[in-house]
Amino acid sequence: MFISEAFAQAAGGPGGENLLMQFLPFILIIAVFYFLMIRPQQKRVKEHKAMVAALRRGDNVITSGGIVAKVSKVIDDNEVELEIASDVKVKVIRSTISTVVGKPAPANDAAEKK
């Protein structure tokens, strides 16, 4: 009479199915984060590295600071010389180039199209 029914019941053992159901939401959240955030970011980083590695003399670029310039010289794997105005050249680190706008049209082709 003094023992309540809650204490009289047998305690449940560690169930494998119950443990899996407890961790399932965490596993799903990690999977969603991977496919929606981490994987696309890795893809963008890979594309940026390929774009920066393919820089050539004459490419028009935009730096991460917003400067629009033309590649005048590729110095080495880490540095590029940009011409931001006539006779104004600066050295920048390749990774600071955010976008390659493209090569300018050759002067002969532009004159023929008019």
Compute the distance between CA of residue 95 and CA of residue 53 in angstroms, rounded to an integer.
Answer: 9
Distances (CA, A) of 108 to 75, 105, 112: 28, 8, 6
Domains in the chain, please, with CATH?
A: 55-103 (2.30.30)
Q: pLDDT tens for residues 56-109? A: 998 999 999 999 999 999 998 899 999 999 999 999 999 999 999 876 666 665
> Residue 99, Cβ neighbours under 10 Å: how many?
13
- Threshold 0.75, pTM exceeds: no
